[in-house]
Amino acid sequence: MGKPTVAFFDFAGCEGDQLQVINLEEDLLHVLEMVEIVSFREAMKGHADTYDIAFVEGSVTRRSDEARLKEIRQHAKILVAFGSCATLGGINLLKNFQEPENVRRFVYGEHFFQYETYSARPLKAVVAVDAEIHGCPVSRREFKAVLTSLLLGKKPDVPNYPVCVECKMAENVCVFDQGMTCMGPVTRAGCEACCVTAGSFCWGCRGLVDDPNADAQREILSRNGLSLPDILKRFRLYMGFSEVSK
Amino acid sequence: MSATTSIRMDHLTRVEGHGRVDIRICEGRVEHCQWQVVEAPRFFEAMLRGRKWYEVAHVASRICGICSIGHTLASLKATEAAMGIKVSEQVVNLRKLLLHAENIQSHILHLGYLVLPDLFKVPSVIPLASTHTQQVLLAIRIHRLGNEMSTLLGGRTTHPQSAVVGGFARWPTPSDLSNLRSRLEAALSEGIALAQFIGEHSANVPAFQRETEYIALADPHEYAFYDGRIGSTEAGTFGVDEYRQVCNEYCVPQSTAKYTRHRRDSYMVGALARLNLNYPHLGPNARNVAAMFGLRPISHSPFMNNAAQMVELVHCVEDSIQRIDELLKNGVKPEKASFAVSAGRATGCVEVPRGILFHEYEYNPSGECVWANCVIPTNQNHANIQKDMEALVDQFKDRPADEIEFMVEMLVRAYDPCISCSTH
């Protein structure tokens, strides 16, 4: 029996998640000892029609792209939504809150009608998804952990506690104590609070934990000076899809 | 050979994003030859509207996974110019280092993982890991250095967090910088060794050139990446805020990315354009590498963009060493930027791995972005890719289809296109 086959695909996105696979550096050679990559347009020529695991990056933003995603679903034993655009809709959701024709006209002027688009959505709005790796971009450590679980036939373990837990472990000074605001209290961990460690705050790119205390989050943001429209905007930066539909 | 040759590549591989090629040669005549961009538009300019001044770079960074540092810096420069915010000399120096980190990471990714397989006619770098293990490990080491340098200065490899409006949210320590310096010293000889290896195996690069205009940042004092005026090999220089007169974006039916033109039907941006305009400012080692490839301005071969990237990689390493020496001599003093948020409109421009990048924003008095425009390197290259492809296919139209297909793939790859970024 050969090695399990893995394929990478992408829809609307920046390909920053697939880049993290290349960013595994020497470790990528170890990954290649365990699996055979049969399709990875960004890095290799050639393509296979079936694969055991498909990692799919990006969100769906055109009706005409649905057929390609459904085909990938058909050919994959396991489909993994790879990165925030795929798991949540990601930053692409920002256009969903503007009038669609205005969005197209603003970018393409009078030629707007040539450019097909619809509300950006995560993969799970179009096909069944077996596993999710959140993050903008994904964490290399988490990619390896999820891949290992899948190869062992286990369900990947996705943290269901907020970024604050990892932020404490990283020994960061709380963002609110530094006079900024943060989405860490409601955002799913797994990133090791990398943005706070880098001097910034949590933007919420990994989506909400399963049972977020959204009311307390709204209250703390408002207590720290954000107006209601600003709070809404902050939630919508990455998490706007749940508002539209599921 | 049959009377009609059709070449159709639905998704060109080993490039960023989705591009398509459609060629038909009939009775020895090229009837159709088209480069098509089918990438889904994300409408970034519209998505930036309504975001606060401190969120704009975060959103703009997502235009591109590979050149997220460049997008972040072009964005910060636009915001700072719009609000009249001045940054200190050490901030400029650290940002220049951060841009070098991205250039090192991106150029080695392109040369080592995407171009190298063509030189050995294999589908990817994976088989080379067994046949040319030492060289692949060398490429990986340089790639890792680029990424670790990005992490040290920007907080992450992709979508940096530490570069913020006014300066930095986290500062490297002197010991971080001296460690980095010794890594760079090692990378200098590794880069030269890799350049030699690539030079020795470039026999199957097509002999092809076509005159075109080259556009890049130009500066009288240094090889321009972060600051300068817009330079053209055919039309002098322009202020950054005149970028729209240079780019002249327009829509074409075969591409979701806009095209641009200046003096001719097309122009080229990227490493070769920068080298054509900044050659006298290359460091000594980089200049030796340029000589190794026989690369001197003005080179009109798009395939030489690969060599120019190799030259720049060495230049970025040696220039980084110098900058670190300067930073260590003066000492890095963490500073807190103080500025007032205000209304304004301005353009920010930097050179990113694939060429000159413009972000222009307008802010209202509460610091909310109300208008945005981004002109991306690859979207400036699409028209030139099209023109080169026409000339290349015409020159080699009598060759077998698989040879033409291979050359066309190599041509597009030489531009190192960032297709999803170009559509944005």
Domains in chain B and their CATH numbers? Answer: 44-423 (1.10.645.10)
Whether B251 and A106 lie within 8 Å, measured CB to CB: no
Q: Which residue is closest to B62 within chain A, CA to CA? A: A14
Whether A136 and B16 lie within 8 Å, measured CB to CB: no
The alpha carbon of residue B268 is apart from the nearest alpha carbon of chain A, in Å, by: 22
pLDDT, mean of residues B378-399: 98
Nearest alpha-carbon partner for B50 in B346, B364, B424: B364
- Compare CB distances from A111 to B52, B161, B251 and report the shortest one's residue: B251
Split at pLDDT 50, 70, 90, the class of B58 is very high
- Say yes or no: A229 contacts chain B, CB-CB below 8 A: no
Whether A200 and B161 lie within 8 Å, measured CB to CB: yes
**In this structure, what DSSP letter does residue B113 have?**
I
- Compare CB distances from B11 to A19, A41, A195 and report the shortest one's residue: A41
Q: Kindly report the pTM of this predicted structure.
A: 0.97
Q: Which residue is closest to A197 within chain B, CA to CA? A: B155
Nearest alpha-carbon partner for B418 in B349, B357, B348, B361: B357
Could you report the per-residue pLDDT of B100-122, keeping only the tens digit for each? 999 999 999 999 999 999 999 99
Q: What is the mean pLDDT of chain B?
A: 97
Q: Which residue is closest to B66 within chain A, CA to CA? A: A16
Split at pLDDT 50, 70, 90, the class of A1 is low
CB A238 within 8 A of CB A91: yes
Q: Which residue is closest to A96 within chain B, CA to CA? A: B47
pLDDT at residue B204, as a whole number: 87
pLDDT at residue B2, as a whole number: 56
- Say yes or no: B25 contacts chain A, CB-CB below 8 A: no
CB A12 within 8 A of CB B419: no
Above pLDDT 70, what percent of chain B? Answer: 100
**In this structure, what DSSP letter does residue A189 have?**
-
The alpha carbon of residue A150 is apart from the nearest alpha carbon of chain B, in Å, by: 23
Q: With contacts defined as CB-CB under 8 Å, which chain B residues touch A102?
A: 46
The alpha carbon of residue B61 is apart from the nearest alpha carbon of chain A, in Å, by: 9
**What are the domain boundaries of chain A?**
5-151, 163-244
Query: Any residues with CB less than 8 A from the CB of B52 and at least 6 apart, and which?
Result: A230, B367, B368, B369
| Helix and strand numbers, DSSP H then E, in chain A | 11, 5
pLDDT at residue A49, as a whole number: 86
Q: With contacts defined as CB-CB under 8 Å, which chain A residues touch B154?
A: 198
Burial A83-110 (b: 16+ CB within 10 A, else e): bbbbbbbbbbbbbbbeeeeebbebbbee
| Dist. CA B93–CA B163, nearest whole Å | 12
| Dist. CA A148–CA B386, nearest whole Å | 43
CB B22 within 8 A of CB A204: no
> Could you give the C-alpha distances from A86 to A95, B48, B380, in angstroms and in order?
16, 20, 28
The SS3 assignment for A33 reads helix
pLDDT at residue A245, as a whole number: 42
Split at pLDDT 50, 70, 90, the class of A47 is confident
Could you report the per-residue pLDDT of A21-31, keeping only the tens digit for each? 999 999 999 99
Split at pLDDT 50, 70, 90, the class of A241 is confident
Q: With contacts defined as CB-CB under 8 Å, which chain B residues touch A92?
A: 42, 47
Query: Any residues with CB less than 8 A from the CB of A236 and at least 6 apart, and which?
Result: A93, A94, A97, A243
Residue B121 class from Cβ within 10 Å (0-12 exposed, 13-18 middle, 19+ buried)? exposed
Q: Which residue is closest to B11 within chain A, CA to CA? A: A41
Both tokens of B276, joined, read: 């054509």
Split at pLDDT 50, 70, 90, the class of A246 is very low
pLDDT, mean of residues B184-190: 97
Stretch (H or E) spanning B312 = helix B304-330
Whether B129 and A32 lie within 8 Å, measured CB to CB: yes
Whether A16 and B51 lie within 8 Å, measured CB to CB: no
Q: Tell me how many residue pairs between chain A and chain B have CB atoms under 8 A apart.
A: 169
**Most B CBs within 10 Å: which of A49, A84, A103, A107, as the mutation test of the B interface?**
A107
| Dist. CA A241–CA A94, nearest whole Å | 10
* CATH code 3.40.50.620 for A5-151: no
pLDDT, mean of residues B113-139: 95
Residue A216 class from Cβ within 10 Å (0-12 exposed, 13-18 middle, 19+ buried)? exposed
Whether B168 and A199 lie within 8 Å, measured CB to CB: yes
Q: Which residue is closest to B168 within chain A, CA to CA? A: A199
- Compare CB distances from B158 to A13, A19, A102 and report the shortest one's residue: A19
pLDDT at residue B3, as a whole number: 80
- Say yes or no: A136 contacts chain B, CB-CB below 8 A: yes
Whether A102 and B125 lie within 8 Å, measured CB to CB: no
| Dist. CA B113–CA A234, nearest whole Å | 38
pLDDT, mean of residues A34-57: 93
Could you report the per-residue pLDDT of A114-135, keeping only the tens digit for each? 999 999 999 999 999 999 999 9
CB B248 within 8 A of CB B383: no
Q: Is the model's pLDDT at B287 over the cut of 60?
A: yes
Residues 150-169 in A contacting B (C-alpha not used; CB under 8 Å): none
Q: Is the model's pLDDT at A244 over the cut of 50?
A: no
- Compare CB distances from B13 to A18, A45, A200 and report the shortest one's residue: A45
pLDDT at residue A215, as a whole number: 92
- Longest CA–CA span in chain B (Å) reads 70
> Could you give the C-alpha distances from B191 to A132, B97, B422, in angstroms and in order?
38, 17, 29
Q: Is the model's pLDDT at B33 over the cut of 50?
A: yes
Q: With contacts defined as CB-CB under 8 Å, which chain A residues touch B11?
A: 41
Q: Is the model's pLDDT at A61 over the cut of 50?
A: yes
**DSSP-assigned letters across all residues of B342-372:** --EEEEEEEEETTEEEEEEEEE-TTSBEEEE
φ, ψ for residue A120, nearest 5 deg: -60, 145
Both tokens of A148, joined, read: 């290992």
| Dist. CA B121–CA B9, nearest whole Å | 17
The alpha carbon of residue B57 is apart from the nearest alpha carbon of chain A, in Å, by: 12
Residue B7 — left, alpha, or beta (φ > 0 → left; ψ -120 to 50 → alpha)? beta
- Say yes or no: B386 contacts chain A, CB-CB below 8 A: no
Could you report the per-residue pLDDT of B313-371, keeping only the tens digit for each? 999 999 999 999 999 999 999 999 999 999 999 999 999 999 999 999 999 999 999 99
Q: Is the model's pLDDT at B310 over the cut of 90?
A: yes
Angle at A186 between CA A184 and CA A192, to 5 degrees: 40
The SS3 assignment for A38 reads strand
HSE, CB side, 13 Å, CA atoms: give it for residue B215.
Answer: 30
pLDDT, mean of residues A188-213: 96
